[in-house]
Amino acid sequence: MRNREGEEGKGNVYLMPSTVNEYRGRVTRLLESERFGEAHALLRFLLECRGQDKQAYGEWRRLIRWLEAVFPELAARAGRADGGEVFDAGDETGSPPEEELPDDEAVMRDLALQPKEGGGDRKERTRRVLEELKRSPRLEQRLLALEKAVYLDDPEVDREILDWLHGEPMHPSMQFRVLQTLRRRGAVGRVLLDRGGERVELEIERTPLSEDDYPTAAGEVLERACRGTESYDPTLPFFARELWEEILKSIYGTSDYEWMVSGGEDAIDCWAAALHLVVQLAAHGRADEAEIRAVYGIPESLRFRFEQACRAVRRAMPPLAAGPGKS
């Protein structure tokens, strides 16, 4: 594809606007799940691509600079993969790394986010992180601030985060991420939150930190949906998996969640079919509801339950998880 005036990047791949939004969401999820090595590799690839969204490229440059500042080994490895020249996030001529990047994310997180010697006044460091968390207009920056907040040793941080959680309207998935941060900080106790139009009480110390912390039914819904979507389009299970992670964060603790995890085979079928329907609609712009219900064995007597699951899935969908571009 010929280059156009004002385009970013110098590679052969051109990013359409819908693709840019998809990749923004993917970078965010990698950072939120602490997969910093994968995020770094993806950002390097994106900065090689052509596109006209200067704001997105600016965000990606800032993120890769932050990653390479706190993870020097990423820049070093990328430099070796490029033939010895360390990649500069402001210069998009480097090639995406082909060797495997570090995957011990717990160690990487510790190295990156724990305060360093000579890192400045503790109160000032705490103030900066909390200000970024509460005031930043960018989701990526807030997520990174949540990561940093885990390692702040100021005893007032828990109270500050809880006050912010109770005082600012936010998407349920963001509420969930805040609860994860509090749990990782060692906080305990109950919190009352408005989630999906419900007033729910949640225990901080029971907040899931990984997919293994969810009840078995959550994994069964995803497995069922992946089998169903794969028979329609082999690429859909990937998007089903990513979307389901976000949906779980959004519905956690609600009556919809309790029905999903304790409702038996009928509930699993209804949720899997709802996930299939939404993913297929996002990817292809069309889906036959009756056909999908037949695939999952949902009789007319369970149609109301199926529609209930569909409404819950649509409400829970985050803005950056709309799936691939429509065909």
- Please name the amino acid found at residue 11: G
Q: Where in the chain are the domains?
A: 17-105, 122-207, 212-316
22 touches 324 (CB < 8 A):
yes
The predicted pLDDT at position 117 comes to 47
pTM across the whole model = 0.65
pLDDT tens across the length of the chain (327 residues): 333 444 555 555 667 776 777 788 788 878 767 778 888 888 888 888 877 778 888 888 888 888 887 777 777 665 544 443 333 434 433 333 333 334 444 444 444 455 544 445 778 888 888 999 998 888 878 888 888 898 888 888 999 999 999 998 888 989 999 999 999 999 999 999 999 889 999 999 999 998 889 999 999 999 999 999 998 888 888 888 888 988 999 999 999 999 999 868 999 999 999 999 999 888 888 889 999 999 999 999 999 999 999 998 888 775 433 333 333
The C-alpha atoms of residue 96 and residue 98 are separated, in whole angstroms, by: 6
Q: Which residue has the tokens 């007033």?
A: 199
The C-alpha atoms of residue 316 and residue 309 are separated, in whole angstroms, by: 10
Helix spans in 189-321 (H): 216-232, 236-251, 255-262, 264-284, 289-295, 303-316
Other Cβ atoms within 10 Å of 221 Cβ, number: 27
Helix spans in the chain (H): 17-32, 36-48, 54-70, 72-81, 105-113, 122-135, 139-149, 157-167, 172-184, 216-232, 236-251, 255-262, 264-284, 289-295, 303-316
Would you say how long the chain is, in residues? 327
